[in-house]
Each structure stands twice: as C-alpha cells, then as structure tokens.
Amino acid sequence: MRALIPLLLLLVITSCGRTDQPPPAAPSVEDAGATRYPLTLQNCGVTVTFERAPQRAVSLYQASTEILLSLGLADRMVGTSTWFDPVLPELAADNDRVPRLADNDPSVEAVLDREPDIVTSASAHTFTPAVVGDRGRLADLGIPTYQSPSVCTDAVVEGETVTRTGPLQMDTLLREITELAQIFDVQDRGAALVSALQRRLADAPVIPRQDATVAFWFSGLRTPYLAGCCSAPGLYAREVGAINVFADAEEDWPEVSWEALADRDPDVLVLADLSRKRIDGDALDTKVAFLESNPVTRAMTAVREKRYVVLTGSELDPGIRQVGAVEKLAAGFGSMR
C-alpha cells in the first residue's frame, strides 16, 4: 500500500537550508575528555551518582535504546524492552547482540535478573509500580537510573502523566546524548553524534511559505488523536517553519473532531504508520482509506492533493529519530507550490 501513495517525502528538495537560527552548541570531539568518577548528575529531579562507567545497561524504551546503540554501547547492554517499531536499520546489527527482555513492558524480575548497573528509559511510565517501580526503589537496590530529559524538561511529571509547560526543544535531545556519553565515558562518541545531528539539522530545508500549515494524526478513527503544541511533532513544525494547526492545544495528543480538523484545513497531513496495529486507525492504509472516503475529510486540501507525509510511531516520540522526522517533514513541504 505504501508504494501506491504519492508521498511527498520522496521528492527531491531544492529549497535552501535553514538560516533562521543555528542549532544548539555542543562540545567538539577534540574537547571531549575522560569522565571523572564518581560522577553525580541531576536528572529529572533525582540526584544520581555513578561510581564507574556502567557495563550492564538495561534500556526500557525504544527511544532510549536507540540512543545507547547510536553511541556504540551494544557491548555494554544486557537487555531492552518496550518496542514500537523495527530498530533503525543502521543499528540493527548491534541491536541483534542485545537480549530483548520484552516487546512491551518487562517484569521487574526480568530486569533484576540481568543484574544491571544502570537502567535507562525515555518514558515516565517505566519508573512506576506498574513496571519496574519508582527510581527510589531501584536506588535502594543499588541500581542507578537515567530518565530521558525529554520527559521532564519544561514538564510536570505525576506518576506516568506528563503535562508540558513549554515546547520540546531540540537541544534536550542533544543534552541527553551528551549526558549518556559522559555517564558511559564515551564523550568522543557523544560529541561526534551530536555534531552529525547538528549538521543534518542545518542542512534541512525550511519551507518558503510563512503560512504553511500541518496536522499530525497519530491514531483513532471515531475521534482522532492529533498532535498539540509541545511534544515532538510541535518541534518538527517549528524546525521547518510550518504552523501546527492544533498548536493551541496543550496536551501532547488531544482528541479532536474531524470537523475541527477540516475547519483548520492543513496544507499537509502527517500520518503515523504504527507497527502495533491494535485498533482501527493505527495502520497507514486504514488512515488513507478513511481520509479519502469520509465526507468530512475528503474535501480537505491535503487529502484532495494527497499531501501526506508518513512517520512511524517512534518518529513521533522524542528521541534520536527527531532529526530524521524533521528531514522527512521538510521534504514533504518541499514540493508545495
């Protein structure tokens, strides 16, 4: 089905690179020195101390796993869990070397059996009694933890509920990479990865139209979930210079009526192609069929002109895939006239 959809993201982009603001600064590879232990960090409101570089890491969320793999740490990983999509192709070989504890949430017993010396996550849900327990419980067992700053930066975390008080920024991802590189004493790798991501961001085109609009549809047919102001999709829209038509919604993924979407009539629709396919509206082909047959949506500009950009569920989450998502969205807008 995907091959039949005239995705704009496959078109060649000829517009110029981003010039409005430089990407966040990062340490150079030459400046990256060895970590001095014990290392103490403030991480999402928790003081965490590492006596030495971790050798047995368990990562409990795909976004966290892919950052560790991108830092070349497969040989120090003893378990992963909570997967939404296939791993990034360039990380597949390393990922195959790491045991998968569970496709979804693991049991606390499965985690402890791996005897980890660090547990990382990019989800507030992980560090709750429903999964492995709060971070204090793991600390009592002598296991330090690391929570992705994307969960807590400009946000209030209550249990597994995250309420954002400000929009997600790209430098939050770069800080996470830098901190993890410091924890594992691979600062040279962290600096190189950050620099590579910065170069890609600098090369991503901005759209020429100042009033170009976009909406991000995650899932749901009866009442769709569309991206609000402040999580990853809002970041993508800002990076390419577009307007998220639901930027006035504070929730990450508010439920919105089809009539409200049609009334705002975005130029481009970002459609999530979810590997999980648990409910109607998860799969890409279901989304497209609905949009093009429903009397409310089929008259929308993006639907009439088939202006669809496809992102995976993982690309709509904060994490290492943010930069690729910006590139795809920029490509989708690039052919607009």
pLDDT of 206: 79
What is the residue whose two structure tokens read 């989800």?
A: 123
Query: Where is average pLDDT lowest: 59-68, 263-272, 328-337?
Result: 328-337
Q: Mark whether 198 and 212 lie in a shared domain.
A: no
Q: Return the SS3 of 26.
A: coil
Euclidean distance between CA atoms 252 and 225, whole angstroms: 9
- pLDDT tens by residue, 51-88: 999 999 999 999 999 999 999 999 999 999 999 999 99
Closest CA to 120 of 170, 191, 71, 192: 71
Please give the full DSSP string across 35-48, using - where no structure is assigned.
Answer: PPSSEEEEETTEEE
pLDDT at residue 263, rounded to an integer: 98
Q: In what order do the strands lie in the sheet with 118-121?
A: 100-102, 77-81, 57-59, 118-121, 145-147
192-231 confidence digits (pLDDT tens)? 999 999 999 999 887 777 889 999 999 999 999 999 999 9
**CATH number of the domain enclosing 97:** 3.40.50.1980
**pLDDT (0 to 100) of residue 277:** 67
**Residue 2 pLDDT:** 36
**Which structural domain, as residue segments, surrounds residue 56?**
39-202
Same structural domain for residues 282 and 256?
A: yes
Please count the CA atoms within 13 angstroms of the CA of 336 that sit on its side-chain side.
Answer: 27
Residue with tokens 């999402």: 44
Q: What is the pLDDT of residue 251?
A: 85
- Mean pLDDT value across the chain: 88
Give yes or no: residues 155 and 286 share one domain: no
Whether residue 312 sits in one domain with residue 215: yes
Residue at 23 is within a domain: no
Provide the number of structural domains found in the chain. Answer: 2
pLDDT of res. 272? 95
Across 94-98, 152-156, 292-296, least confident range: 152-156
Q: What is the pTM of this model?
A: 0.87
38: preceding bond cis by omega (within 30 degrees): yes
Residue 152 lies in a domain: yes
Say whether pLDDT at 278 is over 80.
Answer: no
